[in-house]
Amino acid sequence: MLIAPIMSILALAFVVYLYFSIIKKSTGTPKMKRISDAIKEGSLAYLKRQYKTLSIFIIIISITLALALNYKLALAYVVGAIFSILAGFIGMNVAIRTNVRTASAARKGLAQALPIAFRGGAVMGFCVVGLGLLGISLFYYLYGDPSIILGFAFGASTVALFARVGGGIYTKTADVGADLVGKFEKGIPEDDPRNPAVIADQVGDNVGDVAGMGADLFESYVGSIIAAMIIGALVLGPSGVLLPLVLASLGVFASLIGTFFVRVKPKGDPSLALNKGTFSACGLFALFAFFLIWYFDFSIGIFYATLAGLIAGIIIGLTSDYFTSREKSPARKIASSAQTGPAITILTGFSTGLFSTILPIIGIALAILVAWYFAGIFGIAMAAIGMLSITGIIVAADSYGPIVDNAGGIVEQAKLGLKVRKVTDSLDAVGNTTKSICKGFAIGSAALTALALFLTYSQVAGLKVIDIMNPYVIAGLFIGAAIPALFCALTISAVSRNAFRMVEEVRRQFKKIPGLMKGKAKPDYARCVDIATKGALKELALPGVLAIISPLIVGFLLGKEALGGLLVGSIVTGLVFALLMANAGGAWDNAKKYIEAGNFGGKGSNAHRASIVGDTVGDPMKDTAGPSLNILIKLMSIVALIFIPLIIKYGLL
């Protein structure tokens, strides 16, 4: 009964321990400190403005919820939003303090730098699971009704929308802005301090990849647990409500132990270290889950269902890695095709992305079948729990990426020399792999969570059957299938528009600030951060409204069956598009890096130029549109779930 709050407090205590173990490390030279402070300042400026807009949004929705449904739900909503914000705030604050310490430790070598960076990431990871679990248990012990806790998930979704979609637009705005003017027009290298957008770019890594990914997985984590609790209550009664909570707690514990396996010898392989951590967490969780289910005499089928989800998660992660890694043939084939110019580079990358969708989807389909076979509809929800059990260490490994990326940038800007840069580069190479694994994991878990939420929806809506021969369901499916496409169109064009504003500003600074190119004057970093921030929050409005309003429109006009069709339609195409964009984007990115490592003519060759085109195309796909789809499909399901009582009462049909 008490294991969930205990484990969540343990996770948060671990965060405090990590924080103090990081903060006592050296921040290096004063110059390094200055750069790090600029990143810190920019990140906090972004967060501050985001929170301001966000809080207005949260107030409006919570009042709506309180008036239209009930005040308990509204309370859960507000707390869910605050907890997600808190996780993001703490995680990012520690991440931006860890980057400079990682850079400083890199001067001593790999074995010193890796654990610091990983610990920095682990703060985010354990904030996500600790606060998620704490919030859910809090409301469960307060109200005893899992459907009230849905408000908590909705709050998490709202924050995820801002953090992931807004952060995604922000990060690519800054990236494209920095590259287009700096690299192409002015010919200065990446991360050069003369570039006015360089700080915005590094801030982007934090707000997009740390805070955005954290909020995304916070939403999946919370959503899947609550969905399983609601279905568990219907299927197994009280014990079915507690089981998901307890299993999730064991996952936290397994992840926590897993972090201690992340160590590397001076000349060791850092990617091996991270993999050891992840896989031992998986193994431990499976062991714990088996004993729990056996000891408390649950059906062993529930264990198989949970395991199926965990394995599907691993398959998706490994597929993403295969299709995007610089060591594997798909990215190398793209690199080779870059020799014939940008058009074939785009086509090869695009078809790589398309290819990459099939295996994860078959994996998810099999997991669904296995889970259902062994444990029915509850099994499918438990598969989502299984996949998300290791969220702690997955987010840790993912947040490690932007930390070492930032560390590399600080090394470059503080001119610490080639040897140090080599250490951060080798840390960064691993960061890319963990990033793509985590991306695949985030997509798979979003799909499974959305599916669990959809099944919960169908139960709560009292739908005995949703028949795809019913024209309302068909219409819902068709419209649902088009929404991810529309959402991608909106987010991609948002990046283009916002990047354009950024380019103008960077050009203006190079023109108007005398001595900037010669390094004699400092650019106005803050203004670039400000433009990216304002633009991102503005551009977020339309896709955000679309995600919230489309299930309501379809629900009220076409009824609850059509709404079910809409959810499923958006989940399936959302999944296909998310995988396509993440993997095509990752493959283009690594094809470019493979060429930059000296293959097919290396830097400055025609192949390199073509690969840059591929990378630029892939950037908003993999970092904005693709991840935003995770939010879209979950948010739509949660909105449907929350508003179904009103739809039943006031709907046209």
448-477 binders of a copy of itself (CB under 8 A): 451, 455, 458, 463, 465-469, 471-477
| C-alpha triplet 103, 109, 115: angle, nearest 5° | 70
The CA distance from 122 to 18, in Å, is 8
The CA distance from 165 to 176, in Å, is 16
Around Cβ 254, how many Cβ atoms within 10 Å?
23
The CA distance from 130 to 116, in Å, is 21
Q: How far is CA 78 from the centre of its chain?
A: 21
Nearer of residues 129 and 558 to a copy of itself, judged by Cβ:
558
Letters for 67-96 (x = contact with a copy of itself by CB under 8 A, - = none) are ------------------------------
Which residues in 110-202 belong to E strands, given as ranges?
none
Nearer of residues 406 and 573 to a copy of itself, judged by Cβ:
573
CB of 44 to a copy of itself, least distance (A): 30
- Spatial CB neighbours of 2, under 8 Å, sequence gap ≥ 6: none
Nearer of residues 236 and 485 to a copy of itself, judged by Cβ:
485
- Residues 618-647 touching a copy of itself, rule: CB under 8 A, are 620
- Residues 598-617 touching a copy of itself, rule: CB under 8 A, are 612-613, 616-617
CB of 369 to a copy of itself, least distance (A): 5
Nearer of residues 140 and 374 to a copy of itself, judged by Cβ:
374
For residue 637, give Cα distances in angstroms to 450, 458, 480, 547.
Answer: 6, 10, 11, 10
Give the one residue of 569, 585, 586, 626 binding a copy of itself; rule: CB under 8 A.
569
- Residues 396-455 touching a copy of itself, rule: CB under 8 A, are 451, 455
- Residues 226-265 touching a copy of itself, rule: CB under 8 A, are none
CB of 95 to a copy of itself, least distance (A): 29
Nearer of residues 126 and 577 to a copy of itself, judged by Cβ:
577
Letters for 483-502 (x = contact with a copy of itself by CB under 8 A, - = none) are --xx-xx--xx-xx------
Which residues in 341-408 belong to E strands, given as ranges?
none
How many residues of this chain interact with a copy of itself, rule: CB under 8 A? 74
CB of 604 to a copy of itself, least distance (A): 17
CB of 561 to a copy of itself, least distance (A): 10
Nearer of residues 45 and 354 to a copy of itself, judged by Cβ:
354
Sign of CA dihedral 565, 568, 573, 578: positive
Nearer of residues 458 and 599 to a copy of itself, judged by Cβ:
458
- Spatial CB neighbours of 146, under 8 Å, sequence gap ≥ 6: 140, 226, 229, 230, 233, 241
Residue with tokens 């219907």: 234
Nearer of residues 418 and 469 to a copy of itself, judged by Cβ:
469
Nearer of residues 418 and 465 to a copy of itself, judged by Cβ:
465
The CA distance from 258 to 243, in Å, is 22
CB of 221 to a copy of itself, least distance (A): 22
CB of 57 to a copy of itself, least distance (A): 25
- Spatial CB neighbours of 63, under 8 Å, sequence gap ≥ 6: 74
CB of 85 to a copy of itself, least distance (A): 30
Per rule CB under 8 A, is residue 274 in the interface with a copy of itself?
no
**DSSP run (H or E) holding 588:** helix 560-596
Residues in the chain: 653
Q: 368 exposed, middle or buried (CB, 10 Å; 0-12, 13-18, 19+)?
A: buried
Q: Which stretch binds a copy of itself (CB under 8 A): 82-90, 190-198, 422-430, 569-577?
A: 569-577
Nearer of residues 109 and 651 to a copy of itself, judged by Cβ:
651
For residue 20, give Cα distances in angstroms to 167, 237, 299, 396.
Answer: 28, 43, 43, 17
Nearest to 568 by CA among 460, 418, 419, 466: 466
Nearer of residues 298 and 372 to a copy of itself, judged by Cβ:
372
Nearer of residues 249 and 337 to a copy of itself, judged by Cβ:
337
Letters for 162-181 (x = contact with a copy of itself by CB under 8 A, - = none) are ------------------x-
- Residues 328-367 touching a copy of itself, rule: CB under 8 A, are 337, 340-344, 346-348, 350-352, 354-355, 357-358, 361-362, 364-366
Give the one residue of 210, 576, 632, 647 binding a copy of itself; rule: CB under 8 A.
576
Residue with tokens 């984007």: 585
Give the one residue of 71, 260, 291, 478 binding a copy of itself; rule: CB under 8 A.
478
Question: Is 138 in a helix, a strand, or coil?
Answer: helix
The CA distance from 418 to 282, in Å, is 37
Nearer of residues 37 and 467 to a copy of itself, judged by Cβ:
467
Contact 137, 5 (CB under 8 A): yes
Around Cβ 147, how many Cβ atoms within 10 Å?
19
Letters for 19-58 (x = contact with a copy of itself by CB under 8 A, - = none) are ----------------------------------------
- Residues 549-568 touching a copy of itself, rule: CB under 8 A, are 558, 564-565, 568
Around Cβ 58, how many Cβ atoms within 10 Å?
21
The CA distance from 37 to 526, in Å, is 12
CB of 176 to a copy of itself, least distance (A): 9
CB of 352 to a copy of itself, least distance (A): 8
- Residues 363-392 touching a copy of itself, rule: CB under 8 A, are 364-366, 368-369, 371-373, 377, 380
The DSSP code sequence of 521-570 is: S---HHHHHHHHHHHHHHHHHHHHHHHHHHHHHHHHHH-HHHHHHHHHHH
